[in-house]
Amino acid sequence: MKSFPIFVSVDQTPPLVNGGGDLAVIKARTLLLRAPRLTLAAHELPAGLSDKATQIDLLPHTPALADIKGRPFVISATGDDIEDARVSELARGIGVPVNVPDRPELCTFALGAFVDRGDLTVAVSTDGAAPVLATHLREWLERQLHPRLDRVAAIARDYRERAQRVPSGGQRRAFWHQVLAGAPAEAIQRGDEVEGRRLIEALLTGADSERQPGRVIIVGAGPGDPDLLTLKAVRALKSADVILYDSLVGDGVLEHARREAVLVVVGKRAGKPSAQQGDINAQMIAYARAGKTVVRLKGGDAFVFGRAAEEIAAVETAGIGVEIIPGITAAQACAVDARLPLTYRGAIRTISLVAGASTDGEPDLDWEALARPQQAFAIYMGVKTAHRIVRNLLDAGADGSTPAVIVENGGRPQCRTIATTLSELDAAVMELEVAGPAILFVGLDWSAAGLKAPPNVERYSATWPLRRAASASSRLEPVDTLAPTL
């Protein structure tokens, strides 16, 4: 069936749905997302529509020609081939569009998968060839289109008449582009409709938009896997004029940025040339003062060892607005990759997040508190300082047999998990050439949660012979070939 996409009015005459089963209920509920009323041909109101009773006119018999005439369209979803064919023939005979689910030969129109944003509707159809593909595309569009996009459309409608005063052609197109893809739309989508309208007014009255300050969005990029970005983070990337990103941001994350965005690397890695925090702050402020939307993209979550507070203070002191979008922090992602619960009822009641490095490189922690029995904690930035961490914990009285787990490159395809003990944690880091990024877990293991270690977990013990490869690198066999799982 070759079809032409149109949108049909349903606010005058109610469409007709024939059937009282599950399929008819699904179709009726879909129509009621847009239609204020509909007519349902069924002996009684199905339980699945009881909450919609005030919007449904019940037709307690099979539809006759008079019931079909004048309808915007009819859907026959009885599941009875003879009845559905009868209704289809009646409708086609008088030119009323008809749809019979999964029977394209009885249809004169197809129901597309659609995204509803109030006055804005996006529909997808494959002419019945691949309905699942249409559903997949709809789900993708649901993620891409901001939930408040309907408010952008509604407010834009309020300015259509006044926008006619803008000279037609390129100048008017530029005006609408600034409204719908620039600061006004961004303000409306974040819920500040007053600011959105003010910005539109400024464009209409010829105010110099370049003097309007931009804004900064601090975005947590998660552990590396682009599929772990929040929807809000993706929308921020697509709105950004400039993206200042860390070196720990995973491959694929920046693919969500719009093509025109300026990408600036401001990574900070231990022992390597790094951007200075003051320079990063200055760049964010300079771009925002130029009217740009700036995304500061940080690995993991910006509020967990991310120095976000310094950046927020600097930007707000400059009189520029800041929005913060959280991300999945590395400890969560690493724990999930290792299938290692961070808490477990009756066994693991608390988990601490600690930094393994400070501004001078030496970790400065409450070692006596961490060394107490049954403490569980995740160490960020602890690969380079693992030897000092182990020494300080043991000196503070920690039990050397406390379980320890290393998760390297959590949230990435090359993720690696190593099980050992506290006393041998630093040796495992060195011997197995853990380079990071990595999280070191102390006081956690699978047995505490009644689980077995996953089969790909490596176990390290200095007392076991290491199987060295022909190359200089050292790697261990999976845990189940060396020792029982934890």
Q: Catalytic site residues? A: 246, 268
Query: How many alpha carbons lie under 13 Å from residue 219 in its C-beta half-sphere?
Result: 33
Which burial class, exposed, middle or buried, applies to 62 when counting CB atoms under 10 A from its CB (0-12, 13-18, 19+)? middle
How many Å apart are CA 8 and CA 410, to the nearest integer?
A: 50
Please provide residue 281's backbone torsions phi and psi, each rounded to the nearest 5 degrees: -60, -45
User: Cα 324 from chain centroid?
Assistant: 15
> How far apart (Å, rounded) are the C-alpha atoms in residues 36 and 471?
71
| Closest by Cα among 169, 456, 220 to 338 | 456
**Amino acid identity for residue 21 in this structure:** G
Looking at residue 101, what DSSP letter applies? T
Given a contact cutoff of 8 angstroms between Cβ atoms, the answer to whether 244 and 296 are in contact is yes
How far, in Å, CA of 197 to CA of 112, rounded?
Answer: 34
- C-beta separation of 147 from 153 below 8 A: no
Tokens 């993720």 sit on residue: 415
Closest CA to 186 of 141, 235, 143, 229: 235
For residue 106, what is the DSSP state?
A: G
Among residues 413, 403, 412, 410, the alpha carbon closest in space to that of 453 is found at: 403
CA atoms within 13 A on the CB side of 399: 10
